[in-house]
Chain A
Amino acid sequence: MSAKSEKVWDVVVVGGGNAALCAAIEAAEAGRSVIILEGAPKTYRGGNSRHTRNFRCMHRGPLSVLTDSYEEDEYFDDLIRVTKGNTDEELARLAIRTSEKCLPWMESHGVRFQPSLSGTLSLGRTNAFFLGGGKALVNAYYNTAADLGVEVVYEAQVTHVEIADGRFNAVEVEIAGGARQRIEGRAVVLASGGFQGDIDWLARAWGPAARNFLIRGTPYNRGVVLKDMLDQGADSVGDPTQCHAVAIDGRAPKFDGGIVTRLDCVPFSVVVNKNGERFYDEGEDVWPKRYAIWGRLVAAQPDQVAYSIIDSKSANLFMPSVFPAVEADTLEGLAEKMGLPAEKLRQTVDAFNAACREGTFHPTELDGLATEGVEPQKTNWARPISDPPFYGYSLRPGVTFTYLGLKVDETARVTMGGRKLENVWAAGEIMAGSILGEGYLAGFGMTIGTVFGRIAGQEAAKGAVRGENAHAA
């Protein structure tokens, strides 16, 4: 490893996910020497990007696998709706507009998209799906980077970014648990993701409840670099007390459960807390629009857990789940298996069933089949839970990402005390809060990472040359 630290690299890239790889490829194509410091071991390389599925892309007409058109204004409106206006419009429009050119760039750098053959994907117009998912994308980029001569070091945990007089000089890094070493560079791109892997930090921000949260993505995003930068006075964006949490299967692994732990049964169920009480309208809207809300709702319940209960009528109405449901022929039997108070559950379900009324049930649209005279009301898909066998799933909050990040300008340059740092750029989740201040838009994380990763790589490549000249002068 010593050779790596003897050399002064043109561009040092911190992190090894989508944003980092896009930056590294751009910088290498500009002829710079590039080193990627990926904190994870090779098998887990790629951070949260390895769990992704798609990329939201603007297009003025059919583009690759994307049908029809999806233009800037519609895309921006979608963003405004989820963020409730909490976005930097200039940066957001830049990301949206540039996304159109990114898709062909991705294809020409090895990413393969899934032809829209499957009926299950309702996002075929707005989102391009990666063939094989995010890990296949990450693999393609690592191969491209290797072909371009980029040096990749795995298990390289960056602990400190040395900044003096507004200039970056080197990073401190621990490689494979070894002694701390310095790696010098003329420019740095910070693309090390959010801090959701650091449960203590989450607990400081959210309160002790966060210790019961599950983390949907990588355990390697612990915000070490983000914290180091903030401690040195870098400007921040986003709300430190916020994170994006959805309701997922309560049996999911603590980390890296990824996509399969989602549970889509809630709209067809009654959801109770550990005391057997309902607490929110399960049928408020279609699940993709509500799953984020349920993350918070479950987080507010005792022990941060809830239970979704359906009967045999609904067993096949949603995507198959990764863990089989708990099953019983009676509600009491189900309560016992799930550790719920049987009598209370019976009362809750009886009260709910009594409030259901006749009407037509439409699983795929808002059907207005609402309860009457029960609190809370269920406003759609309300059918009695009555036909055995009964099925239950436990729910817990699953964190997707955190919002607090570094503030950047339209060239992805990081600022400190309102002044641009000379040679420090940031891309991806570490700066996404600039654009996605709240809520979440499917496929936008990869858009931000790709757009700003590429910009950061190009700018860092230029910056590295300037740095070189400055040294020579």
Chain B
Amino acid sequence: MPLDQTRTGLSTTEEARRQIEICNACRYCEGYCSVFPAITLQRSFSDGDITQLANLCHNCRGCYYACQYTDPHEFQINLPKALAEARSESWERFAWPGAFSGLFQRSGVALAAALVVCFGLLFWAGQALRPESGEGFYAFLTHSVMVAIFMPAFLLPLFAISLGLRAYWREVGGMPVRLTHLTRAFSEAARLKDLSGGAAGGCNFEKEDRYTNVRRWHHQAVMYGFLLCFASTASATMLHYAFDMPAPYGLFSLPKLLGIPGGLLLALGGLGMAVLKTRGEKDLGAPALWGGEMAFVLLLFFTGASGLALYAASGSALVGVLLPVHLGAVLAFFLTAPYTKMVHGFFRLAALIRNAQMQE
């Protein structure tokens, strides 16, 4: 499905190429992010080059507000938009199975529906498969049922994403990965370097041509919040299997020490990203995806917030309602991951690794 086209008759990739070639003759925005140094390595750009550049861009919008050639100038530069559209189109191309491509990326309604279905599923499982006895969560859903549901819900999306990554790597002409590439890519991702605006010390997402770090902080909160939550679950799994210490865990246990700050960061960051989205100019991203992206950050918020609520409710009757709600959110998050904004994390990392190779 073709997206809005800035210049009639040009495909998304062609439009991005047209703009990138103008930027390559100009180079005023060189210091904002990794995209511009990558552009200057070449004179002509294959479709794969465009995909790579599009996935390097963080939609910070620094280059838009600095550009002397934005509409109504006849060059009509809007690089953040052109790259956002090329980027999301690339994710659709790489999505596996192809039938799901774009479904959740484009539609917040589909994502909300997936969420409801997952709630329903878990309520149903909770009612039908309620254990005879059990402590804490396991009074509602046995550990083996949880594993039976979440194991595939975690592994299948990972498998789908890895197929997408393989296709990405082929399209951008990636080479064998070395440790130096990984170190550089992970360090840039960890600092969210491309949202820093370089010497500008911030990005232009929500306050037009003024620079702020608000988006970077919120994004950082989401990223680290997610990683902490993930580590919390992983540590709980370890405790369960390796140390024979099943849930529930006390406040000073590893799962809680990781999970509570993780949940807080995820909820705050997700909410912050949602608020920023309402402030930023829609037309500097991919307008067709706005709803899906909004639904995704709200899902992040909801997952973190419902997890915290569940913990706060421990011991009370509310657990019976909150557990399926929270697990439903987690389930929806994982199942839809290959088809939502979540993939940007994976493709961005791949792009950073590829960029490290190209800058050598």
Contact = CB atoms under 8 A, between A and B. Distances in A.
Contacts of A113: 199
Give the contact-size bracket for chain A: 20 to 34
B67 interface: yes
A334 B199 CA distance: 45
9 contacts: A117-B30, A131-B198, A132-B31, A132-B66, A134-B28, A136-B28, A253-B73, A253-B74, A260-B69
Contacts of A117: 30-31, 37
A191 B170 CA distance: 55
A260 B74 CA distance: 13
Given A43-B72, A114-B31, A322 B22 contact: yes
Given A120-B40, A256-B68, 14 more contacts: A43-B72, A50-B68, A112-B199, A113-B199, A114-B31, A117-B31, A118-B30, A120-B27, A131-B31, A142-B209, A259-B68, A260-B22, A260-B75, A322-B21
Interface string A70-114: 000000000000000000000000000000000000000000111
A324 B17 CA distance: 12
B186 to A, nearest CB: 21
Interface string A37-67: 0000001000000110100000000000000
Contact of B28 (A133, A316, A321): A133
A449 interface: no
A148 to B, nearest CB: 15
A258 B68 contact: yes
Nearest to A41: B72
A320 interface: yes
Contact of B66 (A135, A143, A258): A135
A253 B22 CA distance: 14
Interface in B58-86: 62-63, 65-75
Q: Which of B27, B28, B43, B73 has the most CB of A within 10 A?
A: B28
A166 interface: no
Interface residues of B: mostly helix, strand, loop or mixed? loop
Interface of A: 43, 50-51, 53, 112-115, 117-118, 120, 130-136, 139, 142-143, 253, 256, 258-260, 316, 319-322, 324
Contacts of A321: 25
B73 A112 contact: no
Nearest to A262: B25
Contacts of B198: 114-115, 131
Contacts, number: 92
A143 B202 CA distance: 15
B24 A132 contact: no
A260 B25 CA distance: 5
A317 to B, nearest CB: 11
Contacts of A253: 73-74
Nearest to B211: A112
A135 B40 contact: no
A136 B26 CA distance: 14
Interface in B190-230: 198-201, 209-210
A132 B26 contact: no
A324 B72 CA distance: 22
B66 A136 contact: yes
B29 to A, nearest CB: 6
Given A258-B68, A259-B26, A132 B210 contact: no
Contacts of B334: none
Contacts of B62: 132
Interface of B: 21-22, 24-32, 37, 40, 43, 62-63, 65-75, 198-201, 209-210
B360 to A, nearest CB: 15
A135 B24 CA distance: 17
Nearest to A324: B21
Contact of B25 (A135, A256, A319): A319
A130 B199 CA distance: 10
A55 to B, nearest CB: 14
Nearest to B66: A132
Given A43-B72, A139-B66, A143-B210, A132 B29 contact: yes
Contact of B65 (A139, A258, A324): A139
Contacts of B21: 320, 322, 324
A138 B65 CA distance: 11
A117 B40 CA distance: 13
A132 B70 contact: no
B31 A316 contact: no
A108 to B, nearest CB: 14
A130 B75 CA distance: 21
Given A112-B200, A133-B68, A139-B65, A259 B40 contact: no
Nearest to B40: A120
Q: Which of A133, A142, A143, A253 has the most CB of B within 10 A?
A: A133
Contacts of A114: 30-31, 198-199
Nearest to B44: A320
Given A112-B199, A113-B199, A136-B65, A143 B28 contact: no
A43 B70 contact: yes
B104 to A, nearest CB: 35
A316 B43 contact: yes
Contacts of A324: 21
Contacts of A319: 25
B31 A135 contact: no
Contact of A134 (B32, B43, B68, B75): B68
